[in-house]
A and B are shown apart, each in its own frame.
Chain A
Amino acid sequence: MTARNRELTALVPVALLLTAGFTAVFAQESERLDNLSLIYGAYFLAVCLATHLYLRIRLPNADPYLFPLVALLTTFGLVMVYRIDADLARDQANWFVLGLLLFALTIHFLRNYDVLERYRYTIAGVGLLLLLAPRLPGIGEQVNGAYLGVALGPLSFQPAEFSKICIVVFLASYLREHREVLIVGARRVLGVTLPPLKHLGPLLVVWGASMFMLVFIRDLGSSLMFFTAFLALLYVATGRFSFVAIGMAMFLLGAWFFASTVPHVHDRVEVWLDPYATPQGSGYQILQSIFAQADGGLFGQGFAQGLITIPGTDNALLPAAQTDTIYALIVNELGLFGGCALVAVYLLIAARGFKIALLADDGFSKLLATGLTAVFAIQAFVIVGGVTRVIPLTGVTLPFVSYGGSSIVANFVLLALLLLISDRARREASAPAPGGLALEGGR
């Protein structure tokens, strides 16, 4: 079977799941059953099919599983968001279409993505500017003490979502060029292997940027996500674990320093360590998130059965259910099995992403695929880990599932880049010896 036929086949269960999901929500809340909501399903499937046909023409060799997996997440997200609020789901569906549009444009214009290397400093500059934007007077927005959003007229978005792609592109390009000198120029000081100082400058800028995010944007989640992705790339590029250890030490030092000086960051850490100290205050969200999971058990309460607001009031029982704590709602309604299934989908996407990196034969493609996959997986870890109290709870979105335009659109651009790399890698891998070099079974 060709890659694209496999993709088409894989979309079938996604379509079934979507239908089943909406049916379940309808069955629970029969008063909400109207034609408009039924149209959602058809609309969604048509868009997926169109995307599939577009991929068939433009990237025939690209990985066949990534798009169905992402469609699965989006489906899951749409059903959950629809169950929370039908109006939000309509927005989300529109964002989904816009995301696919940008996805198509990315594939169209960046078919030769090596061009990104040429503009790497510009891209890095744009990435940093995007991070800075929420603090710019006039357009910056503050949410829960963190500066996460930018408002341009009626449009409001979270620049960190786009910034992460810019930073990964820059790092992949920079490390591709400097990895040799970083390895060769390294010297041992007091038993620790240190990178050469003159090539460290730009990397220190990245460290500085993530510290900056902690202090000025107060976005602990994005900061953690950026820096972990950076360390992952540094490790893959150089193979030096000591660089990662030094980087981690620097991050923890900085994080500790700012956690004790910046009140917002300090609060998040305190609440993480002891949420019961302020059950009605800052500990409310994480406690309610955990209580919601406790109520889910193995199988969950069932779609649309969980409580989001306190009945009879508009007070949130599970604050930010459509964004930050959507994973808690999923565990509440679909149980441990539902939560594990979702984590498994993210893991499968990560596996496909790293597979692309393994197949790619030039350094930039390898590092770019690794970086994009790592930042995606780590984002999922940061928010799911936050909701399950593995790490402090932060305002990062769950990719493709949480409600939010910036997240969906940016992650579709990320997916487009991964598929571009994949298409080239697999085309090159299969071209020289047709049928001979079977890198994957079933071809």
Chain B
Amino acid sequence: MNRQIVKLFGLIVVLFGVLVGFTSYWSVFEAEALKEKNANKRPLLEQQQIERGRIRAADGTVLARSVPKGSGDNLRYVRRYPEGALFGHPIGYSFVEEGDSEFEQFHNDELVGEDSEFTSILDELRGKRQEGNDVVTNLDPEAQRVAMSALEAAGFGAVVAIEPSSGRVRVMASNPPFDPNRIPTELKELNANTFETPLLNRATQGFSPPGSTFKVVTAAAGLDSGVIDLESTIDAPATIDVQGQPLANSDGASYGAIPLESALTGSVNTWFAQLGEEVGSDTLFEYMDRFGFGSTPAIDLPDDQVERSGVYEGSDLLGRGDPVDVARIAIGQERLLVTPLQMAEVAAAIANGGRQMKPQIWSRVVDPDGRVTESLDPAEYSQPIDEETAATLTTAMEGVVDEGTGTNAAISGVPVAGKTGTAETPFNESCGGGDLNQAWFIGFAPADDPEIAIAATVECTSSFGGEVAAPIFREVAEAVLSGD
């Protein structure tokens, strides 16, 4: 019988080997996939036991903090947002049942103090509980407040303000806002509100045609590729024929042969449409790519909450070689859809001598002992145009504010460069089908030493960009400049 006993023991060894194999599979090899499962609430429950770090504005104002509930085994932390709806975008929210979004989601690892398994073992041996880090942002509460109240007065829309030299995001406002404190009780209602879509961050997800603000990109492509220079003139009649359809100036006037500066100041459609055709769609697409169109902006927000700007056919992005009406793209129409963040990046790139910086909301990470463990190292995203082109564009854009369509953006004593835009959006269902516009203003100030670049947009308005968006630019720019 001894032979059989040894064999039986062999079988037991194999069976126990299977147990070790399965345990390894669940606890190590399959662990990450299991943590992603919807039915698995453990990762969130465990995070809830960690005191998540605070999120602060640039001036130290607390935008999000965790408050303890219960004690002992039942101790858990719940998120509070002292500023309420003001920073609903772009801070987002983080709750166990409802999940997380925006800045809270993107910076989750820093906020919960996620370390590697090895360091957490060391912490455990030292009896240290996992603690979250604070994340300080570049956001300016005063300017954000100004932006929100200006938007609330004007209508639904968004404002993005970026420091051109560093890419620091100083303002990101979206109207209608939402109060993250109310997410646990109202998430369903907020999600169901498909008319106002308060959970949509219009600054990064709100699509609309850029209208005449896009002429800045067309001009940049024309200048930088050498198709035109500051003196080149193009004859701009009241109407031209493009692909069998008339394309007219908004004021119906004929301008004759004029250079770039006059064309931009008067926002002359027929001038830029012809420039677009001269530049050609391949070159225009190339410059759009350089400015970041067609790619997800390199901002510190979750990719699925940041849209790519570009020419869309349904949900597909068009590019070089696709059949498009380049003349109408050149004036910001056709199927071109952009986000306020993208347009702010265009303005910031021109302001920064053609060097486009990665837009970043965060500034530094501070550990529970008050040490700065990481801080933002501004990085260049691309150099879409050279310094000379940027300088020429700046001069032209100053003309827009000094004597053109953007005079409402002027700040006394500070030179301002900018461009208005008014896109007709007759098919926009959220405007109730009415004959309303998407109003835009992009620009930067001071024009000679730019500190802030801003894109402001208002949807479903009967006003023009110069009337409704330019004043928002001025108010926000003044708030940022006075705060520095």
Taking a contact as CB atoms under 8 Å apart, the answer to whether B46 and A366 are in contact is: no
Q: Does A113 belong to the interface (CB within 8 Å)? A: no
Taking a contact as CB atoms under 8 Å apart, the answer to whether A299 and B117 are in contact is: yes
Q: Does B49 belong to the interface (CB within 8 Å)? A: yes
- A239-B1, A297-B117 known; A291-B42 Cβ under 8 A: yes
Q: Does A319 belong to the interface (CB within 8 Å)? A: no
The answer for the CA separation of A376 and B15 in the assembled complex, in Å, is 13
- A311-B73, A388-B22 known; A347-B121 Cβ under 8 A: no
The answer for the CA separation of A363 and B34 in the assembled complex, in Å, is 49
Q: Does A377 belong to the interface (CB within 8 Å)? A: yes
Sample of 13 more A-B contacts, CB < 8 Å, known A31-B72, A307-B49: A294-B40, A295-B31, A295-B43, A312-B76, A336-B27, A336-B28, A370-B5, A374-B12, A377-B12, A381-B12, A388-B23, A390-B18, A390-B22
Taking a contact as CB atoms under 8 Å apart, the answer to whether A381 and B19 are in contact is: yes
Taking a contact as CB atoms under 8 Å apart, the answer to whether B5 and A354 are in contact is: yes
The answer for the CA separation of A389 and B19 in the assembled complex, in Å, is 9
Taking a contact as CB atoms under 8 Å apart, the answer to whether A335 and B48 are in contact is: no
A-contacting residues, B1-18, CB 8 Å: 1-9, 11-13, 15-16, 18
Taking a contact as CB atoms under 8 Å apart, the answer to whether B28 and A297 are in contact is: yes
Interface-facing stretch out of A229-237, A250-258, A427-435:
A229-237
Taking a contact as CB atoms under 8 Å apart, the answer to whether A388 and B26 are in contact is: yes
Given A279, A295, A305, A358, which contacts B42 in the complex, CB threshold below 8 Å? A295
B-contacting residues, A53-75, CB 8 Å: none
Taking a contact as CB atoms under 8 Å apart, the answer to whether A346 and B23 are in contact is: no
Q: Which of B24, B38, B39, B45 has the most CB of A within 10 A?
A: B39
Closest 7 CB pairs of A and B: A294-B34, A279-B39, A388-B22, A294-B31, A293-B26, A236-B4, A291-B40
By a CB distance below 8 angstroms, the chain B residues around A377 are 12, 15-16
Q: List 22 A-B contacts (CB under 8 A).
A: A235-B4, A237-B1, A287-B40, A291-B35, A294-B34, A295-B35, A295-B42, A295-B46, A296-B27, A297-B28, A297-B31, A298-B117, A307-B46, A311-B48, A311-B74, A312-B74, A317-B41, A331-B23, A343-B23, A354-B5, A357-B5, A385-B15
Taking a contact as CB atoms under 8 Å apart, the answer to whether A366 and B31 are in contact is: no
By a CB distance below 8 angstroms, the chain A residues around B4 are 235-237, 239
Q: Does B69 belong to the interface (CB within 8 Å)? A: yes
Number of interface residues, chain B, beta carbon within 8 A: 49
By a CB distance below 8 angstroms, the chain B residues around A235 are 4, 7-8
Q: How far is the CB of B107 from chain A (nearest CB, A)?
A: 22
Taking a contact as CB atoms under 8 Å apart, the answer to whether B8 and A354 are in contact is: yes
Q: Does A148 belong to the interface (CB within 8 Å)? A: no
Number of interface residues, chain A, beta carbon within 8 A: 56
The answer for the CA separation of A381 and B11 in the assembled complex, in Å, is 12
Q: Does A271 belong to the interface (CB within 8 Å)? A: no
Q: Does B20 belong to the interface (CB within 8 Å)? A: yes
Given B3, B46, B74, which contacts A239 in the complex, CB threshold below 8 Å? B3
The answer for the CA separation of A354 and B8 in the assembled complex, in Å, is 9
Q: Does B70 belong to the interface (CB within 8 Å)? A: yes
B-contacting residues, A288-342, CB 8 Å: 290-299, 302, 305, 307, 309-312, 317, 331, 335-336, 339-340
B-contacting residues, A381-413, CB 8 Å: 381, 384-385, 388-390
Q: Does B449 belong to the interface (CB within 8 Å)? A: no
Taking a contact as CB atoms under 8 Å apart, the answer to whether A340 and B23 are in contact is: yes
Q: Does B75 belong to the interface (CB within 8 Å)? A: yes
Residue of A nearest to B77 (CB): A311
Residue of A nearest to B26 (CB): A293
B interface with A by C-beta (< 8 Å): 1-9, 11-13, 15-16, 18-20, 22-24, 26-28, 30-31, 34-35, 37-43, 45-46, 48-49, 69-70, 72-76, 117, 121, 124, 127
Q: Which of A31, A377, A384, A388 has the most CB of B within 10 A?
A: A388
B-contacting residues, A28-61, CB 8 Å: 29, 31
By a CB distance below 8 angstroms, the chain B residues around A347 are 12-13, 16
Taking a contact as CB atoms under 8 Å apart, the answer to whether A389 and B22 are in contact is: yes
Taking a contact as CB atoms under 8 Å apart, the answer to whether A335 and B27 are in contact is: yes
| A338-382 contact mask (Cβ, 8 Å, vs B): 1 or 0 | 011001001100110010011000010011001000100110010
Given A276, A295, A367, which contacts B39 in the complex, CB threshold below 8 Å? A276
The answer for the CA separation of A310 and B5 in the assembled complex, in Å, is 46
Taking a contact as CB atoms under 8 Å apart, the answer to whether B28 and A350 are in contact is: no
By a CB distance below 8 angstroms, the chain A residues around B37 are 276, 291
By a CB distance below 8 angstroms, the chain B residues around A31 are 72
Residue of B nearest to A292 (CB): B42
By a CB distance below 8 angstroms, the chain B residues around A249 are none
By a CB distance below 8 angstroms, the chain B residues around A290 are 26, 34
Q: How far is the CB of A149 from chain B (nearest CB, A)?
A: 27
By a CB distance below 8 angstroms, the chain A residues around B45 are 307, 310-311, 317
Taking a contact as CB atoms under 8 Å apart, the answer to whether A287 and B39 are in contact is: yes
Q: Does A27 belong to the interface (CB within 8 Å)? A: yes
Residue of A nearest to B40 (CB): A291
Residue of B nearest to A308 (CB): B73
| A259-299 contact mask (Cβ, 8 Å, vs B): 1 or 0 | 00000000000000000100110000001001111111111
Residue of B nearest to A356 (CB): B5
| A218-239 contact mask (Cβ, 8 Å, vs B): 1 or 0 | 0000000000000010011101
By a CB distance below 8 angstroms, the chain B residues around A309 are 73
- A340-B23, A350-B12 known; A312-B70 Cβ under 8 A: yes
- A236-B1, A347-B12 known; A307-B19 Cβ under 8 A: no
Q: How far is the CB of B330 from chain A (nearest CB, A)?
A: 53
The answer for the CA separation of A290 and B33 in the assembled complex, in Å, is 12
Residue of B nearest to A370 (CB): B5
Taking a contact as CB atoms under 8 Å apart, the answer to whether B70 and A298 are in contact is: no
The answer for the CA separation of A343 and B11 in the assembled complex, in Å, is 15
- A236-B4, A295-B46, A390-B18 known; A311-B75 Cβ under 8 A: yes
Q: How far is the CB of A130 from chain B (nearest CB, A)?
A: 26
By a CB distance below 8 angstroms, the chain B residues around A293 are 23, 26-27, 31
Taking a contact as CB atoms under 8 Å apart, the answer to whether B5 and A358 are in contact is: yes
By a CB distance below 8 angstroms, the chain B residues around A312 are 69-70, 74, 76
Q: How far is the CB of A146 from chain B (nearest CB, A)?
A: 23
By a CB distance below 8 angstroms, the chain A residues around B20 are 339-340, 343
